[in-house]
A and B are shown apart, each in its own frame.
Chain A
């Protein structure tokens, strides 16, 4: 286990008291004069080890926000602080490199993180074991099913050894059965690795199924509309009554937010 490697960013997190701090972030696109405000004064903290979902309809800028936290783009105003450096990011598409095998994809992330060559193979195997793809090191990406690809992508994201994992609707393109299994898998990996997760989705039940805290964003521009703490104990199931009840409440609010846009 690479506990020594894990400790440094984690320490920084504990010192700061958060895994990510998004404070008063606004983002607009377009040229001066014809700017469109996409995110408006968003403030969200993710505690170390916390699982937060950002929930919103289309046009709420949730992917934009993740890109900002990942450092792929800069906010127009406000600040984003990720103690311990770069965040890992998982996309809706697996985004694995098809010219590399599953294992090599992970090893490339390890290499970029600066892990010496002699340790990469073993660490890649360990991460594949973690997502229960033990024998898949030499498999080509196209030889894997959609669910397996997303698990390799999860392993690659974990290979960055970031204490903050950003997930941009990573299961949206999967069929319901696979998605259900991956929810369980993600919950397990999260509780084993103690990584902090900021998970974006438009699926209310998914948000409630996974998160400790659900942040609802309004659309155009994206603002924090409301937050819920989810106290249902893990492991949960998407069909659990408690999950369903909270989902109904959140859905009502979400529909209200969407309805507002039809009124003018």
Chain B
């Protein structure tokens, strides 16, 4: 009879939420494998390909006017569309989380629209609305302010595609925090604007940061919508992702991968920035119980 017990007593010392050692090792190994194959290896491959013919060739290809124009254009588009979407996202999340009004469900659906519509379709809609053949577009072109095949169109398309990121990140946080702190600030004599700046905004700053980083990553990487709207004019309206595709199609692999490495590098910089901020403000993060 006693022979049936040893395994039972051994098991009793393991925390109830923990699996058997073999299962644990297998699961961990599987996760690491997936991470390496899906995330890590492609990233390394980009840099390896970029440097296949040495540093000099990579840097030379980046110094090409078309590449420089693409980098500059992508940064410009992100610099315009991300702050605007942050403002719109805050406004939308604030309205949805703190107020009850008619049409709220519709507004939430509308905010999610860019997630469900293919970016290419979004780009086509922009062309239909603002193209030279449309009523509005024709008039704007006549005023010397073309939208499609120019910077404004690229910015509009990027903003459409990245619209939900900030709002989506903020809405659950703002709903969870409720209205009580804002009400408290008002009873203490603060104006609405002061309440927003000193209570609402500090309480959502981390969620806002994540939203902005996601929005930025997507804004710099957007391909589909921008491909339709920009007209892919080399050196003028071709952003980094579009230039990368064109170079790759022309078998200029060092140039394509060098530019791709810069794009990936920009993403890595934002990730590092986020981690640094989290690390420096760990105490505040704990104090506001978020992430």
- The answer to whether A binds B is no
